[in-house]
Amino acid sequence: MKRLYAPLAALILISATFYSCVVSSVAQHMQSIKPLPYPKTQKTDHLDDYHGTKVADPYRWLEDDTSKATASWVEEQNKVTFGYLNQIPYRKQIQERLEKIYNYPKYSAPSRKGEYVFFFKNDGLQNQSVLYVQKGMKGTPEVLFDPNALSKDGTVKLGANSVSNDTKYWAYGLSSGGSDWQEYYVMELATKKKLTDRVRWVKVSGLSWYKDGFFYSRYPAPDDTTKQLSAKNENHQVFYHKIGTDQSADELVFEDKENKQRFHIASVTDDERFLILSISDRGKGKDGNAFYVRDLSKGEKSFKPVVTGFDDDFTVLDNVGDTLLVQTNYKAPNWRVVSIDPNNPDEKNWKSVLPEKPQTLNFAGTAGGKLFANYSKDVTHRVYVYDLTGKLENEVKFPTIGTVSGFGGEINDKTVFYTLTSFTYPPTIFEYDIKTKKSTVFRKTEVAFKPDEYETKQVFYPSKDGTKIPMFITHKKGLKLDGKNPTLLYGYGGFNISLFPAFSPLRIAFLEQGGVYVQANLRGGGEYGEKWHEAGMKLKKQNVFDDFIGAAEWLIKEKYTSPQKLAIQGGSNGGLLVGAAMTQRPELFKVALPAVGVMDMLRFQKFTIGWNWVADYGSSDNPEEFKYLLGYSPLQNLKEGVNYPATMVTTADHDDRVVPAHSFKFAATLQEKHKGDNPVLIRVATKSGHGASNTKKALEETADVYSFIFQNLGVVPQYPAKKN
């Protein structure tokens, strides 16, 4: 709910003769490519008055996502962008390379419910992963649900889904074209028969079963459905849907008409005893949540408050009899777990289960009668097993440092599954035996990639104020520190989101060409707990940009790269990061890749659920925060006559989280004010959202991004990839 939301190795063999011709052709063509003339974008005299300060917004008309003028502008911009990309002679080869690298089976870890076992699998290039079901671990897998069959272009995605506690029903959500809106449906699990149930206008919702129905959250149907991708979302409601009934008969469980910019999410404990209502008030700048409880076993019809403030986070993990296990950062910036009796919720009655540690508690959960806790130390994971009172039993040992997910399960499970990954360690699924405390490999990813040819190191560099910032650097072994290496610097820095080491098959296509991939763990994230997050929020947001700029300066100083060989990339809040960095220090970067970014910091709260980002950013409605936002907002800080980096803005027509108007206005202003030969383009994907809506679109966009990077960093990709 808090997140703005942020998801390749066999070689193409060609003859030596053909290869030499390609290199010669590319070398001759490298300097000749010029962007086509930019479309002339209409300007208006629109002015806004913010607390006595007049701010021009000449491209305000681009905010109208349904107008013919906006559609025409997008079409003309895409003609320019794809006209430029089509001139890059190795673009098709990059796409073919990405497809070949990505074409291997991908599995999720199994999950169990009753006698059933579920897992996702993608054969390689399927647009959507397929959900399989089998009876028991040794049963024969059968397709339960294949989203690829729902649309010709594969842009219908499976979202929230859950099996009823009696395993009779499976409920699932579908979204189209990358939108965050979902519709919920129900299937009879044993027969795979789709029922008549249809639940619409679901967004920011759980799907939590109770008896013969489920709780979910939705917004009222919009007055104008043509504006469903941009209109502000307000009055989040909780309903209970009974299987076999029309949505119009759903029971309204909770709403708050006096506070329309709040999220309300309901969930039921595994034993179906407690209904938990989590409420956040992020539109008013509050970063935490309150929570209330109903004891369903007693037939309670109203919620009892347990925590009423909105300054800290509280997540109910499970109940142990009459008490609730709760993970919180209240009086614990690195998080802890406490036991709370909902009938005696006063803080003095809380009992400590997992006290706060120097390491950050990323997540905790119960399975097999145990409490599993995932901690991070310098941005890598450790997992410990406790009994339900908090007594340490053991640490789960891993074959390499990296990122771990999983360990969920039912109370009677004897084993649990988890997935381990790192930059050069493809995701590997392990089965952990709770009794013997041992892990065994359950499924290893078979990707044609030689991790021994690459290395990752972690460094700590000083930011502007002296704060040490961790950063991972991955590249081929034997790298020469001569300042000539094409380098891609990635960051996010916000919303308490941590960037942990993870394997990306798509990244291989960059690394194998001698590229250096760098991931900086900026303030604003959650890598070191809430204090690290707060150091990059609101009136301290500049720290995030300073951290990112500091990463670039360190890489240049240490001769990993140079300003002419450095590209920066980020998406969503990371798109804001790239926009701020390139406007503050345009000479430091050669290529800038802001994706689905929040580029107009004065108006983000006006669209869809943008108001919930006020908790991290502040708001232009506040005079003090307005001045600060105006000082770094990428759109308002583009200056006339500056030679900005080669820039390709990416967005999508169905992004209803960070509406594309942010990118539209930024690109139009950048094209107007930029001076120099660097291309300034915007790539607008269709039937896609805040992330690629299918595999095909993801591969196409990545190919275009890499082509743009290589072209503007002066890199001639070699196929097959050059050996050290």
Give the CA dihedral 405, 410, 411, 417, nearest 10 degrees.
Answer: -40
Distance CA 584, CA 576 (A): 12
The answer to whether the bond into 720 is cis (omega within 30° of 0) is yes
For the chain, the 3-state helix, strand and coil shares in percent, each to the nearest 5, are: 25, 35, 40
Cβ-in-10-Å burial (0-12, 13-18, 19+) of 489 comes to: buried
Q: Which two tokens stand for residue 154?
A: 């594969």
Distance CA 432, CA 236 (A): 39
Residue in 151, 439, 690, 707 annotated catalytic? 690
Cβ-in-10-Å burial (0-12, 13-18, 19+) of 64 comes to: middle
Q: Which two tokens stand for residue 328?
A: 């919180």
CA R_g for the chain: 26
Q: What DSSP assignment string belongs to 69-95? A: HHHHHHHHHHHHHHHHHHT-TTHHHHH
What's 479's DSSP letter? -
The answer to whether 683 and 647 have CB atoms below 8 angstroms apart is no
Q: How many CB atoms lie within 10 A of CB 307?
A: 22
Q: At what angle do helices 695-713 and 91-102 cross, to 10 degrees?
A: 130
CB contact set of 461 (below 8 Å; sequence gap of 6+): 468, 469, 471, 550, 551, 554
Q: How many CB atoms lie within 10 A of CB 705?
A: 23
Sheet containing 351-354: give its strands across: 314-320, 323-328, 336-340, 351-354
Per the annotation, the verdict on 572 as an active-site residue is yes
Residue in 208, 267, 572, 707 annotated catalytic? 572
Distance CA 683, CA 660 (A): 11
Q: What DSSP assignment string belongs to 5-18? A: ------PPP--HHH
Exposure pattern of 547-585 as b/e (b: 16+ CB <10 Å)?
Answer: bbbbbbbbbbeeebbebebbbbbbbbbbbbbbbbbbbbb
Q: If we measure between CA atoms, which residue out of 308, 339, 338 comes closest to residue 323? A: 339
Element holding 537 (H helix, E strand): none
CB contact set of 243 (below 8 Å; sequence gap of 6+): 169, 186, 195, 197, 212, 213
Per the annotation, the verdict on 690 as an active-site residue is yes
78: phi then psi, degrees, rounded to nearest 5: -65, -35
- Active-site amino acid positions: 572, 690
